[in-house]
Amino acid sequence: MGVMLSNCERALEPEFPDFLLSNEAVFEDASTIEAAMAAIYAGLRDNSPVMGGTNGMSVRLGLYSDELQYYSDSSVNDNAFFNHSVLPNNNAVFDFWNNSYVLIFNVNAMIEGLENSPLPDADKESFLGEALFLRAYLHFYLAQFFGDIPYIQTTDYTLNASVSRMPLTEIYEKMRHDLTEAKALLTDVDNSGERLRVTKGAASAFLARLYLYSEQWEKAFDESNSVINSGIYVWQSKLNDVFLKESTCTIWQLKPELDGYPTKEGQTFIFDFGPPPLYALTSEFMMDFEEGDMRKDAWTRKISNGTETWFHSYKYKQNMYGISSSEYSILFRLAEQYLIRAEASLHIGNVQEAKEDLNTIRHRAGLLPTVANSPEDLLKELMHQRRYELFTEQGHRWLDLKRSGLASEVLRPIKIGWKETDIYLPLPQKELLLNPNLNPQNPGY
């Protein structure tokens, strides 16, 4: 596997990372492979769409949907997302694309290196499973942002420089293939003891989400059901314990760079004085909380200057350096699996099972069992629970509006710039100029 020469603006031809410059040496020893894999996880935490900071999708898609209000004029990118005026030259759009493909390239380098490694298969399997999972995971979000995209499976820059986009159905099939193989290779429990590395359960959780998005209801039910009944992840009954690093319902999380650091989510969403410096939860979101929903008090926080009041997301409560980090950034947790199983149950006719799963979510929130009975009313209740269970977490709200076909109905009255074609972001103009095979541009741009 050769070292690739790069142009810093070529997302599909990124600079070869330092830890893989000497390929043969890296893949001859498990400890150096471990270090290389740790660097990929760090890139996911610090420089990818799922990062919890201001440049991550929790913020940008929160602004794009109906979760977050923007209170500053300092960021052209934030303004564009909030006002639905995103253009192909938007730097945030380029970063979503470029940073994802840089990490995908590194993951492919890991896969190729492992395949040629002299280590016994037993020593390589978990690493290979992690890499296959991460390749699918990064492509999943690219597909949600841009629709048809290239699915990159090589480090051959001559091929990557001229790739074309694939239909979404083909992309989903490639994800499914990678995830199914990953699931067979991964272990039940990661060796960190803190759920910092992807495992067999994380692969099932991601497959459940993938099948949900592709409307393969029975498969979504089976995968989510296997996670819920695995015995590894235990329902956390106290709302204030859900986002602690020791939470038993966490499936996969990312640790801050240094012990004592807060999560990027905590640093980004929490503010102590009004008006908000950047973001706050929208007044519409706060008003639509069901009466008695304890998530309002546990997972949001009110800030007032005496005349006005604002609320910020308060799932993560540490926002300053401390003796130790009390929270890690959660990417998969058990509640989503209950919601996936409920939605899948509705579509395959298991109405009572769907109600039971929804009532599990409602009970923890301090709410009485749902009074909905028809599939239509239960689906509305499901979307409401997804909204108030998963808010400000990796863009779930926007992705739910998009996949359910409700985006126009919800956003047209409140977003001046809303267009039907806004369900996808524009492809970065820089990438279209470098590789014309990526054309045509998405409609509306």
Q: pLDDT tens digits for 119-170?
A: 999 999 999 999 999 999 999 999 999 999 999 999 998 999 999 999 999 9
Q: Is the dihedral of CA 234, 239, 242, 245 positive or negative?
A: negative
Q: Could you tell me the two tokens for 13? A: 């031809």
179 near 128, Cβ under 8 Å? no
For residue 314, pLDDT beyond 80? yes
Q: Tens digits of per-residue pLDDT, 231-246?
A: 999 999 999 999 999 9
- The pLDDT-based confidence of 25 (bands split at 50, 70, 90) is confident
Provide the percentage of residues in the chain whose pLDDT is more than 70: 95
In this predicted structure, what is the pLDDT of residue 2? 33
41 near 47, Cβ under 8 Å? no
| Angstrom distances, CA of residue 402 to CA of 55, 171, 372, 399, 406 | 21, 18, 24, 5, 6
Which helix or strand (DSSP H or E) is residue 254 part of? Answer: strand 250-254
Q: How many CB atoms lie within 10 A of CB 158?
A: 9
| Angstrom distances, CA of residue 116 to CA of 77, 96, 142, 326, 334 | 42, 31, 28, 40, 36
- Enumerate residues 6+ apart whose C-beta is below 8 A from 36: 17, 19, 20, 26, 110
Query: Average pLDDT for residues 210-222, to the nearest whole number?
Result: 98
Q: Could you tell me the two tokens for 21? A: 């410059």
Query: Average pLDDT for residues 64-73, to the nearest whole number?
Result: 96
In sequence order, the β-bridge partners of residue 69 are: 280
Q: How far apart (Å, rounded) are the C-alpha atoms in residues 110 and 102?
A: 13
Q: Is the dihedral of CA 143, 146, 149, 153 positive or negative?
A: negative
Q: How many CB atoms lie within 10 A of CB 445?
A: 17
Query: Average pLDDT for residues 215-222, to the nearest whole number?
Result: 98
Q: Is 439 helix (H, G, I), strand (E, B) or coil?
A: coil
In this predicted structure, what is the pLDDT of residue 73? 86
Q: 269, 263, 188, 287: which is closest to 231 by C-alpha?
A: 188
The domain locations on the chain are 14-46+87-186, 264-313
Q: How far apart (Å, rounded) are the C-alpha atoms in residues 44 and 233?
A: 23
Beta strands in 298-393, from DSSP E residues, in sequence order: 300-304, 309-313, 329-333
Q: How far apart (Å, rounded) are the C-alpha atoms in residues 139 and 175?
A: 8
**Can you tell me which residue has the tokens 């759009």?**
93
> How far does CA 164 lie from the centroid of its chain?
25
Burial 6-43 (b: 16+ CB within 10 A, else e): eeeebbbbbebbebbeebeebbeeeeebeebbebbbeb
- Over the Cα atoms of the chain, what is R_g? 21
Length of the chain (residues): 445
Q: How far apart (Å, rounded) are the C-alpha atoms in residues 406 and 402?
A: 6
Q: Torsions phi, psi of 93, nearest 5?
A: -65, -45
Q: Is 310 helix (H, G, I), strand (E, B) or coil?
A: strand
For residue 342, pLDDT beyond 70? yes
For residue 262, whether the previous peptide bond is cis, meaning omega lies within 30 degrees of 0, is no
Q: Could you tell me the two tokens for 171? A: 């992309």
For residue 215, pLDDT beyond 90? yes
In this predicted structure, what is the pLDDT of residue 273? 96
Report the CATH architecture of 14-46+87-186: Alpha Horseshoe (1.25)
Query: What pTM value is reported for the model?
Result: 0.94
143 near 149, Cβ under 8 Å? yes
Q: Enumerate the H helices of 47-115 as residue ranges.
A: 57-64, 76-83, 91-115
269 near 67, Cβ under 8 Å? no
